[in-house]
Every structure is written in structure tokens, then in C-alpha cells.
Structure 1
Amino acid sequence: MITEEEKAVADGGEWDRRSLLRGAAVVAGAAATTPLLGKAATAKAGGDDADALFKAGKFEEAGRAYEAILKKDPTNLHAARQRGYVGLLSNKFPDAEKYLTMALKLAPDDKETNELLGDCYIRQDKFSLAVPRWRAGGDEDYATWFAAFSGEPYQINGDIARVPFQQLDPSPAVQASVNGGPPKSFTFYTGASNLSVTLSVAKEAGLTAVYKEKTDFEGETIWVYYGVLDSFKLGDIELRNVPVGWSATESGEDVSTDHDGMIGTWVFYHLLTTFDYAGRSLILRRPTPGAAQKIRAAATRAGAKPLPMWLALDHYVHSIGSIAGSGPRVMGVNLGGEGEMVAGMPGEVAKQLGVRTDSDRPIETFAHSHATTAYPCYPKEIRIGDAVANEVYCEADPNGRVNVPFPYGTGFDTTGWFAHCFWKPYNVTLDFTNMNVYIARGKAT
């Protein structure tokens, strides 16, 4: 079914970025927007053209167009901020910092600039620099959370771990140890941000909240807590000094008891991770140049070409793929999570691409105070790299918004997203240093 973050819409009709992050602490999900399916934009220096390139996912061309604008007008806040965002999407931190700092000097109180720069700093584990940026962006929760850290976050002990899946469906799960305790069951999902645990696990591990707040989840009031975890161990890899969240109902109970927690993208972007669906395991490596070289060599032997990767809204992974002959478009890469669908798309995408949709079999669901109805659909082909599926069960959400602007959405067009079931014949490696995705058929070697 369509998962929670795909439909996370705040009261009043806007997508609520903070609600997405809160929801990720207790449930798997993914966000997507409807694409620009018309003619590709052309590279010109005008502001409208630069924005069109960005929205169409032509990020390198957009970056050059924003630079051309800044050469003519160094005081253009929008161009400076957007050029910084382009750098951040590819983890090109010097570029991101250069242009976002330029934007910050032009408008010190600009919330979007502060949030983007805050994200830029936390990706580099520069928490002390991130704190004032999140506070200026109005995110007191993040500001207080990251201010609570002392010493180096995400310290890595060990070089490689192969952690077997304890189950594959409805969501893959692995075992991990929290603060040296007995093994716990964790799902994982690249549509979630931080590592999260249940209230029961938090109590058992002796966690103390540094910040807490009320929010709404599926019509129920819950408390969300933020803390610092001393040790998180997955097989032979241990992470120390890790941001962690947990949630509780107003009566003080676990929000969900299906698993003991969820591993989000923040953990994975500190490692070189292979999601070995075909081999039913997570392979975690310290992200050294040598390890990256071995990954590239293994991908070459398997005939897998590196695909570009972009990271938006601090945890959403994207690459290039196609749906029903759309041609190469930006797609969400959702590893983990749950559900029977192979891919998802907004209803407008299905309509524009002529995807066969079964409107007689609505799928009624509810999330973040809003009812949503999705429909089964069956595109002739979905593809990312050489990974292909034909005439498979997907879902179309007619309530999907078209290109939701930052910070409530990514601000660029996303044709759809590849979900849990798509990856079952493959192993997928995310290299956040070189910003590449490698997809190979069969078990990882």
C-alpha cells in the first residue's frame, strides 16, 4: 500500500517537512512529487530558465545557470541559495557552503538558507556549526538535539559487517544491539532520517531525552523524544555517539511494537552500505577509498554502471530512472520500508504516461490527519539503470502534489519512486562519498 510519508500532508494543505521527520521515527514511508513531463528546459542564464532546469532535475545545468545569474547580480539571494542547494544535493560540501554562506550574508534570517546550511553541516558531522543554523531556521528541536552532543558523532568501530535479514516481508529486518544490550529487531528505510527505537528499548538502554515535543500521528497525539545513543552495533560494525529518537503515546506506551526500531538514512550515509536483497543481508563497510574501489570493481564485473545519486531534505535518496517510457527522470530510491507495490507514482504521472490504472479497486488509507485513496496501476516497464520490471503491481496516488517547494518538498520534479519489492532480485550499494548508486542482479560478492 502507499506508505505514510507518501501522503504526509499538514493541516492547511501544505506538506510539513517536520511532520515527515517525526513520522519517520515511528513508521516507514517516502515522499514524491509529480514531474514536469513536458519538453526539457534549455540552459539559459535567466532566473526562470535556471529554475526550470532545477525543477526538471537538470542539476548541473541549473548550477551553471545560477552562477551566470550571480556573475551579473551577486546580490541575488534566490540564485545563491539555489546554487548552494545544487551543491548540497550531490554532497559537494565546499560548493554548498560557499553559496549558502553567500546567501546567508545577503539575508541572515532567511529560513530556507539556514535550514539548508544546517543540513550541510550535519551531513559533515559539524554539529556545533549546525546548531545556530537550525535555530535561525525555526527548528528548535534539531538545534537543541545537536547542541547536546560532545565529542565526535558517528564514531565507527570495525571495517565490515554482513548482517543477515531476519525477515524479508512485509519489511526487511535485521538484528542490532543498543548500548551493549541483547539483539533487537530493526527495520530500515531510506525514507526515514535518524535512527529510532521504541520507548521500551529507550528505557532499557537508559536513554535520556534532551528535547521532547507533541505531534500528531494518524489522528493520535504522541510524544517525540530526541537523545544521544552511546552505542549501536550491527554485526561487526559499531557506531558510537549517535543521534536517536523514540516516540510514545500520550498514555506512555510504545507507538508500535512490530519491531524495536528503525535505521534511517543518517546511519547509512556514514557507511558504504550494500542492501543485498538477493542475498538477504545488509553489508556495511567503513567508507574508505579502498572499500569504494572494491565496490566499483565488483559492480564492473557484474556489469553494473554507476548511477548518479542525490540526497534531498537530509535523507531522501534519488537517482535516474523511467516509468512507462517517460525517459530518464529523477526517481526516489526507497530501500527498505514495507508494502507489496513495486513502485509508486502520483496519479497525474500515471494519467500523463497512460499507465493502466484500476480505478475499480481503490485502496483507502489514512495518514497525518488526512484520508488518502490510491489505486493499483500497471506500467508496461519501470527501469533504473539495468534493473527492470514489466507489468508489475504499482500504485498511483491522485492526491500527490505537483512539485512541492522546499522546505515542504524537494522543489524538483520526481516522476515516482522505486519501492521495497522492486529490489528483491538485486543488490544495491549507496556510495555517499562519490554520490553513486550501483545496482547489480543477484547476490553481492
Structure 2
Amino acid sequence: MANHGNWDRRSVLRGAAAVAGAAAAAPLLGGTAAARTGIEAADALFKAGRFEEAGRAYEKILKTDPGNVRAARQRGYVGLLSNRFPEAEKYLRMAFDLAPDDKDTNRLLGDCYIRQDEFSRSVPHWRAAGKEVFATWFGALRGEAYQIHGDTARLPWQQVDPAPLVEGSVNGGPPKRFMFYTGAPWLGMSAKVAEEAGLTAVAEQKIDYLDGTAWQYFGVLESFRMGGIELRNIPVEWSETDQTSPGGGNDGIIGTWIFYHLLTTFDYAGRSLILRRPTPGTAAEVRADALRAGAEPLPLWLAREHGVHSRGSISGSGPGMVGLSIGGTGESAAIISEETAERLRVRIDRDRPLETFGHSHPVVVYPCYPKELRLGAASARDVYCGANPTMRPAADGFDTLGAFFHPFYKPFNITLDFTGMEVYVGQGKAA
């Protein structure tokens, strides 16, 4: 992350330090000593990824202590993780009414509204959260955002490594090569592509990037076409830097905000990106195909604007929260903290340190070799991973075992259904 909580393209593109660990519990903004005991128990459930139980615990607190801001905010966050928007908004508005200046509440409310394409409603909350760039950017959107035209697209990959690339057209221009990555939020592109498309910035900021700096510019794009699917009136970012970006000479990056508007299958085995209009019918077809292929439905959670998570395991850990970093660059199948690797008795090769970047800072990661990575029925044994000795707690508030990266998914196809909030991981090519 860049300073002041802004996303840093170095973190987005290199993806070396995964979302792992948990944020320290914030101090209560109100409540009695008895309620504090209850909030600690509820927070422990949330931290362990037992969200439904945590939600009931927060509700119990609110029945006896309706002024408890943290309980209201966390109960809203439980709903937001699963895209249950009425539920999320109910409790987040409760927390906001109790403490209008609380930055965490405002950020979650801003996220709740942009997930529903209610950008104008998000503006005052991003401003109150201290994210003025977002407030200005989203305030510039007019009319219906993320208009979907077309029903299906199957995009062949132009390359697989160091990052998979697909073609997309910006404002009707010639095809450009885009990397895709669920570790990135928005649709981004180079300054050259933005200039060719005639984009005008409505907001800008300077960030750390690789070994230097970069300028980020934010605007509104009229059209982005990916095969048979076109999206119109969408927020877009472009960057200007003297650094060489990883990813194999791409013109831009497609992030999670695009994917959660569609029913997306990352067909690694078939070397294609499959995009569908997210209707109940297409979702039912995809689910039926996945079940026939032996892919069990896994829970899907979306944290803090773009963090994709599900349940998986590492070296016999048992089910735990894992980040799904699909696409992007990377040589290791997973990144875990050194502490987690030691606890799970994963072999670490400290004689071969790898210097890379993560969370805007240089980091040294050591090769490690878990006996197994597992995501539902999909597994990999004795694969090359990375153990990060300086992995910091994530801002999401819950523990993760680590994050699964690009190499893990190569034998499989992975579908993210943000309407039903389920993940399907199938063996081989997608149907």
C-alpha cells in the first residue's frame, strides 16, 4: 500500500507480500466493561474467519449496548464481506449515525456503495475517510456506471508467463495487451494508452513505485471492450513513470472491480479468460457445469474493496482463510508468513533469499516447500512457495494462512461468482 492508504502499483503488480495476518483490534468507541468482554469474544470469532458466528455475537452486543460503534461497524462488515448489501448498509449506517467521523465506518460505507455502482452516495464517505482522490474521482461519474453490453466473451491468452495477458479495446481503439490480477482494484492503463483514448484526468496523486515514483491519474472511460463484452462508463486509472513495469510488456491491468461486475472464469488450463453477463441463468449453468466436473462450491469473501478470499489449507493446517491472487506475476505458488511456515513445519530454504517488493517496501522472501496447498478439490504438492519474515498484519481484520498465486492455478479453471458469492475450482479446461 502507498502512504495514506492509497494503492501502490508496485504492490499491485509484483504481488510478493500477500494479505496475511490480522489487524489489531481497535479501541472501543463506547460501551460498558461487560460489553467490552463481549466485543473481545466477537472480535476473536471475526479474526478467525468465523464470520456468521461473529455477526451473531455483534448483534447480541448491540441488543444490550446499542451505542457500541465497533459492534455496529463490524456487523456491517460481516454483511459486506458476502455482498449482502441491505444488511451491510443497515449496520454501517447505524455505526455512522453513532460516530459520523469514524474513518473505518466511512471507508466501509464508501465500499458498500461503489460495489452497487452508487458512486455519488459513496463520495462524502470517501472524503470523511480521508481519501479525497476517491471522492473527487467517483464524484465525476455521471449516469449509470459499468453498463454491460453483450453476453459472453472468451479471450485467448496472448502469453502465460511472467503474467497472463489478454486483449482489450479502449474507446474503440486497436487491441491492447492487458494483464489481469485480482490483487488489483480498478482498470488501469499506461499514460500512452490513456492519451490515445483521449482521457482527461479528474484527480491525480504521486506514489512510490518500484525504485522511484509514479503519477496516478483518474478519470472516466467511455468504453472498454473485451471480445463480445463491452463495459461503458467506468472509472479508470492511468500511470506515468520512468520505471519498467513487470508483467511482460503489458498496456494495462484489469482488476477485481471489472470481475465483480461479471461472472468470470480464469481458465488457466484452457489458456482463456471467460466473461459472462451475471444473470441467474448463467450462474446456474456455471454452477451445474462445475458440480458435474467435481468442483465443490467454496465460499467467496470480498474484503476492503478488492481482496478476494476463500477457504483453503496449507500443509495440513485444516480449513482457513486464504487470499486468491489470480493472474498477475509471480514465481511462487503461495506466499505465507515465516511464522506460519514454522508453525506448520514447512521446510524453509534460508540459503537462497529472494529480494522483491511488497506493500511498497523492499522485502526478502525465502523459498519454502509446503507438503500441500489445497483449495477445495484442487491441490498442489511440494510446490515452490515463499516465506516472508516481515509480513505485516493486513487491514482486513481477520487471519489468513497466506495467499495463493499465479502458478498454483495452472492445472485448473477458477470461477468467481460475486452474485452467489461462491468460488468453483475445476480440474482441466472449463466447459
1:179 is aligned to: 171
Q: 1:427 aligns with which of 392, 402, 413?
A: 413
Distance in 2 between residues matched to 1:45 and 1:214, nearest whole Å: 43
| 1:286–1:176 distance in 2 versus 1, CA, 3 Å | same
In structure 2, the CA distance between the partners of 1:368 and 1:381, relative to structure 1 (3 Å rule), is closer
Do residues 242 (structure 1) and 234 (structure 2) align?
Answer: yes
Give the distance between the partners of 1:118 and 1:35, measured in 2 at CA: 22
Taking the aligned partners of 2:331 and 2:215, their CA distance within structure 1 comes to: 30
Structure 2 equivalent of residue 40 of structure 1: none
Structure 1 counterpart of 2:152: 160
Matches within 5 A, 1:123-142: 123-142=115-134
- The aligned amino acid for 2:403 is W
Equivalent of residue 223 in structure 2, options 224, 231, 234: 231
Aligned partner of residue 376 in structure 1, secondary structure: strand
Alignment of 1:12-91 (within 5 A): 17-20=5-8, 22-23=9-10, 31-34=18-21, 46-91=38-83
Does 2:325 align with 1:338? Answer: no
Query: Does structure 1 residue 121 correspond to structure 2 residue 107?
Result: no
Structure 1: how far apart are the matches of 2:312 and 2:15? 22
2:17–2:359 CA contact under 8 A, matched in 1 = no
CA deviations over 1:38-91 (Å, ceiling 9, x no partner): xxxxxx981111000000000010000000000111000000000001110000
What displacement does 1:136 show?
1.0
Distance 1:29 1:312, change over 3 A: farther
Residue of structure 1 in register with 2:33 after alignment? none
Query: What secondary structure sits across from 1:46 in the alignment?
Result: helix
Relative to the length of structure 2, the TM-score reads 0.93
- Match in the other structure for 1:265: 256
Name the aligned partner's letter for residue 438 of structure 1. Answer: Y
Verify: 1:414 aligned to 2:406, yes or no. Answer: no
Residue 97 (structure 1) aligned to one of 89, 97, 117: 89
Matches of 1:84 and 1:357, distance apart in 2: 39
Q: Distance in 2 between matches of 1:30 and 1:151?
A: 37
Give the residue type in structure 2 aligned to 1:319: S
Identity %: 61
TM-score under structure 1 normalisation?
0.90
What code does the residue aligned with 1:32 have?
V
Q: Tell whether 2:317 aligns with 1:326.
A: yes
Please give the residue correspondences for 1:374-389 in structure 2 after superposition, counting only pairs within 5 Å: 374-389=365-380
Structure 1 residues 390 and 347, CA, compared in 2 at 3 Å: closer, same or farther?
same
Distance in 1 (CA, whole Å) between partners of 2:15 and 2:357 is: 14
Per-residue deviation, 1:28: 5.1
Structure 2 equivalent of residue 216 of structure 1: 208
Distance 1:18 1:315, change over 3 A: same
Work out which of the residue numbers 424, 427, 430 in structure 2 matches 1:438.
424
1:255 deviates by: 6.1
Distance 1:366-1:384 versus aligned 2 partners, 3 A rule? closer
Q: Aligned residue for 2:301?
A: 310
Cα deviation digits, residues 81-111 of structure 1 (max 9, x gap): 0000111000010110000000000001111
Change (3 A) 1:121 1:30: farther
What corresponds to 1:278 in structure 2? Answer: 269
Shift of 1:31: 3.3
1:155-174 Cα distance to aligned partner (Å, 9 max, x none): 00000011100111111000
Cα distance change, pair 145–25 in 1 and its aligned pair in 2 (3 A): farther
Q: Is the Cα–Cα contact under 8 Å of residues 112 and 137 in structure 1 kept in the other structure? A: yes
Q: Provide the C-alpha distance between the structure 2 equivalents of 1:25 and 1:338, rounded to a whole number of angstroms.
A: 10
> What are the ranges of 5 or more consecutive residues in structure 2 without an aligned counterpart?
24-35
RMSD, aligned α-carbons:
1.9
| Closer, same or farther: CA 30–369 of 1 in aligned 2, 3 Å | closer
The superposition leaves residues 395-425 of structure 1 with CA deviations (integer Å, 9 ceiling, x where unpaired) of 1101012x33xxxx11110111111011011
Counterpart of 2:140 (choices 136, 148, 151) is: 148
Where 1:331 maps in the other structure, the secondary structure is: strand
Kept after mapping to 2: 8 A contact 1:29/1:337: no
TM-superposition CA deviations, 1:103-124 (whole Å, max 9, x none): 0000011111000000000000
Relative to 1, partners in 2 of residues 1:155 and 1:265: Cα closer, same or farther, differing over 3 Å? same
Question: How big is the shift at 1:18?
Answer: 1.3
Tell me by how many angstroms 1:221 deviates: 2.3
Residues 150 and 290 of structure 1: is their aligned pair in 2 closer, same or farther, counting only changes over 3 Å? same
Moved more, 96-105 or 212-221: 212-221
1:189 and 2:181 correspond: yes
Aligned equivalents of 1:101, 1:368: Cα separation in 2: 31
User: Which deviations, in whole Å up to 9, do the C-alpha atoms of 1:244-278 show, x marking residues without a partner?
Assistant: 101113x7x98678210000000000000000000
* C-alpha contact 2:13 2:329 (8 A) present in aligned 1: no
Aligned 8 A contact 1:34 1:349 in 2: no
Within 1, Cα distance between the matches of 2:122 and 2:414? 31
CA distance in 2, matches of 1:118, 1:73: 25
- 2 CA distance for matches of 1:394 and 1:368? 18
Q: Report deviation, 1:19.
A: 3.5
Deviation at 1:365?
2.4
Q: 1:117 to 1:382 in 2, by over 3 A?
A: same
Matched ranges for 1:293-308 at <5 A: 293-308=284-299
